[in-house]
Amino acid sequence: MSRFRVRTPTVRLRRTVQLLVLALFLAVVLAARPQPGQRLPVWLESFFHLDPLIPVVTGLAAHAVQWAFLLSVVTVVVTVLLGRVFCGWFCPLGTVHTLVGRLFERWRPARQREHWHRGQLAKYYVLAALLVLALFGVQWLVLLDPLVILYRTLTVALWPAAQGGVESTATAIYQADPGVGTWRVTSVTEPVYRTVRDLLFVKQQQSFPNSGFVLGFFLFITGLNFVQRRFWCRYICPLGALLGLLAWRPWLVRKLDTGACNQCDLCGLTCHGAASTGPGTGWKPQECLGCLNCTSACAAGGLKFRWELPWRHGLAPERVNLSRRGMLEAAAGGVVAAMVLRASPQARGATFHPLLLRPPGAADEADFLARCTACGLCMKVCPTGGLHPTLFEAGLDGLFTPRLVPRIGYCDYECNACGQVCPTAAIRPLPLAEKKAVRLGLAAFDVGRCLPYAYGRNCMVCEEHCPVPDKAIYFAPVTVTGRDGVPTELLRPHVDPAHCTGCGICENVCPFKDQPAIRVTSANESRHAANQPILGSGSGYPF
Ligand code: SF4
Ligand code: SF4
Ligand code: SF4
């Protein structure tokens, strides 16, 4: 049986809006490009600021109100008036689910019923567990907030992969330089490639070591559309649940002309949110995504959306009944999850992972974890491509949060971009002068590898690149005797901890490309009074 498709002007309008918002989201992601020294526009964070789940959860976890999220009041008001139209018309991840769901349509049973199922209550329990978790100071939006998931996946996985594909193709064509006679294909492909590179891609191609895990999770949640369309939105999404609660007593309600209804159930067959409870009859406003498929599909014209003051609803819409037992179990789940996520010594502040170099301005670890949603915006704007998502360095609690990997990219002395864009102030927006004084960690020489120590050769690469005006790396002359018995004058480098900011450029430029002979660890980071192995201001340091 061929599938029933709804193609009315209202549905076309909704689809157009969905695609436009998705395109806008992509454009905003692409616009977040590394521009060292430039002030970044505030609208780069605007999508996150429209999301009411982020301030609720991070606010509870960090005990802080973030005024930037006042914009999310717009979403709240629209939801109270119109229902979950954010999910049906606006949410970019919702649109991706819609598109993927359509791709999978041919494999699902024809005329699969889209009626409400008790399992849809699960997302409300996910939300309850998330809120309890936040009360214990643990914020875990990393795998649950739709905007965070999509932004991070685009930034860390999809866009770098696209850039890699374009670069490799352009390089292959350039090297082959095919053509006919004197005419070359590159005369066409090179200008196209240069335009695409300059408009869409970052100059220094970014690549992220853990992108496979980020992509894997994204493929998993979009793959759930194979089971049922918009599976994520119906059963899991806590933002959908929060908006569902706001739509508890809607002003815009679906009305049925029972005389016209012939029980054909076209409304149920086409419902994106599975808000219908049976042919024509029941409708749960908390689950309705406002896609308008039902009213458009009703051949009898029996379904309409009408404005009604909530206290005057003639026909009370069906409620979603959350059980007390279910809520208690969700709360218990939140408590257990808090214990598990905060069980690592790192999360308790008992140890400090040497590789966990947080961006400049990052709050102390507990506060940072309470705020950072792992959205990836800071990673996108870092001009050196130095910020990368963690895997286990920060514990499960800090999954996919940013860390500096100096081997790949250092913290530019003249840059404070990550603090400018962080939507939750997990990285504080520091003026450049203040940022320059922040210590991310401390550099230390590996004297078993460093050329002047281990191989009797002079090398000044790290000292030359150290950006601190007074140089954190300095030399001490020594005389060493080689195996031939000939004494040689050498300059051996040392790190002055009073000046080192842990920016990592020395590690980045060290001639050893496998394991650099100078490495930065989190020791001495400004964020933690307990992670300071070297006391004092540095005057009188023995070298
Ligand atoms: S620190 Fe980075 S990943 Fe975390 S919320 Fe801020 S911008 Fe997003
Ligand atoms: S880590 Fe350093 S270089 Fe990268 S964005 Fe932040 S301030 Fe700029
Ligand atoms: S990390 Fe290296 S380059 Fe940066 S301040 Fe310290 S010694 Fe200098």
Closest Cα to atom 3, ligand 3: which residue?
466
Distance 195 CA to ligand 1 centre (A): 30
Considering only CA atoms, which of 113, 107, 144 is closest in space to residue 128? 144
Structure tokens at 71: 């914009």
CA distance 225 to 227: 5
**Hey, how many other C-beta atoms are within 10 angstroms of the C-beta on 180?**
7
**Mean per-residue pLDDT, 15-42:** 90
pTM of the model: 0.92
Per-residue pLDDT for 217 more than 90?
yes
For the CA of 362, the nearest atom of ligand 1: 1
417 Cβ below 6 A of ligand 1: no
CB 357 within 8 A of CB 440: yes
pLDDT band of residue 539 (cuts 50, 70, 90) is very low
Distance 472 CA to ligand 3 centre (A): 6
Per-residue pLDDT for 108 more than 60?
yes
User: What are residue 440's phi and psi, to 5 degrees?
Assistant: -85, -25
Select from 152, 364, 371, 377 the residue to mutate for testing ligand 1; criterion: most ligand atoms less than 8 Å from CB: 377
pLDDT of residue 495: 97
377 Cβ below 6 A of ligand 1: yes
Per-residue pLDDT for 230 more than 50?
yes
In this structure, which ligand is nearest to the CA of 518? 3
For the CA of 504, the nearest atom of ligand 3: 1
Closest Cα to atom 8, ligand 2: which residue?
415
Helix (H, G, I), strand (E, B) or coil at 427: strand
pLDDT band of residue 314 (cuts 50, 70, 90) is low
Per-residue pLDDT for 272 more than 90?
no
CA distance 380 to 353: 24
Helix (H) or strand (E) holding 179: strand 179-180
For the CA of 376, the nearest atom of ligand 1: 3
* Range name among 4-13, 77-86, 298-307, 311-320 with the lowest pLDDT average: 311-320
Tell me what percent of the chain is helix, strand and coil, each rounded to the nearest 5.
Answer: 45, 10, 45
For the CA of 389, the nearest atom of ligand 1: 3
Is 77 buried (19+), middle (13-18) or exposed (0-12) by CB count in 10 A?
Answer: exposed
> In the chain, what percentage of residues exceed pLDDT 70?
94
pLDDT of residue 542: 45
CB 305 within 8 A of CB 285: no
Between 391 and 543, name the one with better pLDDT. 391
pLDDT of residue 1: 37
416 Cβ below 6 A of ligand 2: yes
Structure tokens at 527: 């964020």
Distance 443 CA to ligand 1 centre (A): 25
pLDDT band of residue 8 (cuts 50, 70, 90) is confident
**Residues 427-457: pLDDT tens digits?**
999 999 999 999 999 999 999 999 999 999 9
Most confident range, picked from 38-42, 133-137, 148-152: 148-152
Structure tokens at 198: 């300059």
466 Cβ below 6 A of ligand 3: yes
pLDDT of residue 541: 45
442 Cβ below 6 A of ligand 3: no
57 Cβ below 6 A of ligand 3: no
CB 410 within 8 A of CB 204: no
**Mean per-residue pLDDT, 406-434:** 95
Distance 408 CA to ligand 3 centre (A): 15
Per-residue pLDDT for 109 more than 80?
no
pLDDT of residue 63: 94
DSSP E strands, 249-365 = 252-256, 303-307
472 Cβ below 6 A of ligand 3: yes
Looking from the CA of 339 toward its CB, the CA atoms found within 13 Å total 5
Between 242 and 259, name the one with better pLDDT. 242
Most confident range, picked from 165-179, 210-224, 256-270: 210-224
402 Cβ below 6 A of ligand 1: yes
- Ramachandran region, residue 286 (left: φ > 0; alpha: ψ -120 to 50; beta: rest): alpha
**Mean per-residue pLDDT, 181-190:** 87
501 Cβ below 6 A of ligand 2: no
Per-residue pLDDT for 311 more than 60?
yes
Distance 307 CA to ligand 1 centre (A): 40
Distance 376 CA to ligand 1 centre (A): 6
Instruction: Please give the C-alpha separations between residue 461 and each of 209, 365, 444, 473, 516, in angstroms, as whole numbers.
Output: 26, 33, 15, 10, 12
Degrees, nearest 5: CA angle 354-360-364: 65
pLDDT band of residue 55 (cuts 50, 70, 90) is very high
For the CA of 411, the nearest atom of ligand 3: 4
253 Cβ below 6 A of ligand 1: no
**Residues 316-352: pLDDT tens digits?**
556 677 889 999 999 999 999 988 887 777 777 778 9
**Mean per-residue pLDDT, 234-259:** 89
Closest Cα to atom 4, ligand 2: which residue?
382
**Residues 492-508: pLDDT tens digits?**
999 999 999 999 999 99
516 Cβ below 6 A of ligand 3: no
CA distance 303 to 276: 12
Alpha helices in 182-258 (DSSP H): 186-200, 211-223, 231, 238-246
Closest Cα to atom 4, ligand 1: which residue?
372
Distance 408 CA to ligand 2 centre (A): 13
Give me the chain's average pLDDT, please. Answer: 90
Instruction: Please give the C-alpha separations between residue 233 and each of 124, 168, 292, 528, in angstroms, as whole numbers.
Output: 11, 37, 16, 40
Instruction: Report DSSP state, residue 515.
Output: S
User: What are residue 277's phi and psi, to 5 degrees?
Assistant: -105, -5
Distance 309 CA to ligand 1 centre (A): 41
295 Cβ below 6 A of ligand 2: no
